[in-house]
Amino acid sequence: MMNFDAFLESAQGDEAPPADLSPELESLWHLKKGNWEASHDIAQDLPSKMGSRIHGLLHAIEGDFGNAAYWYNRAGETPITKAQIDSEWEVVVKLALQG
């Protein structure tokens, strides 16, 4: 099982995501790499609350906070602000790593 530091190291250095990542973690890996489209393509197909939260984070990153709020509400979470984007990515990764 991968921990946060190993996940971050992979996202900062590897050319491709590890093969054993869940779709949620793969989406978050691409997001950290700056591959917004690849991350969004995965997140929009995740019907879970976690998928909605990731989807909300993606739209917050692009500056569409209205759309982000919709997805956070679907996830049962409070929408985030621009200042929370980096910390939210870390929180969501840690939750996804827990399974």
pLDDT of residue 74: 97
Count of alpha carbons within 13 angstroms of residue 43, beta-carbon side:
29
The answer to whether residue 78 is domain-embedded is yes
Number of Cβ atoms within 10 Å of the Cβ of 8 = 16
pLDDT of residue 63: 97
The answer to whether residue 8 is domain-embedded is no
pLDDT of residue 9: 96
Q: Which two tokens stand for residue 74?
A: 């679907």
SS3 category, 47? coil
47-86 tens-digit pLDDT: 999 999 999 999 999 999 999 999 999 999 999 999 999 9
Structural domain harbouring 39: 23-98
The answer to whether residue 2 is domain-embedded is no
13-50 tens-digit pLDDT: 999 999 999 999 999 999 999 999 999 999 999 999 99
The span from the CA of 91 to the CA of 32, in Å, is 13
**Total number of domains constituting the chain:** 1
Does the predicted TM-score (pTM) go above 0.85?
yes
Say yes or no to pLDDT of 1 above 80. no
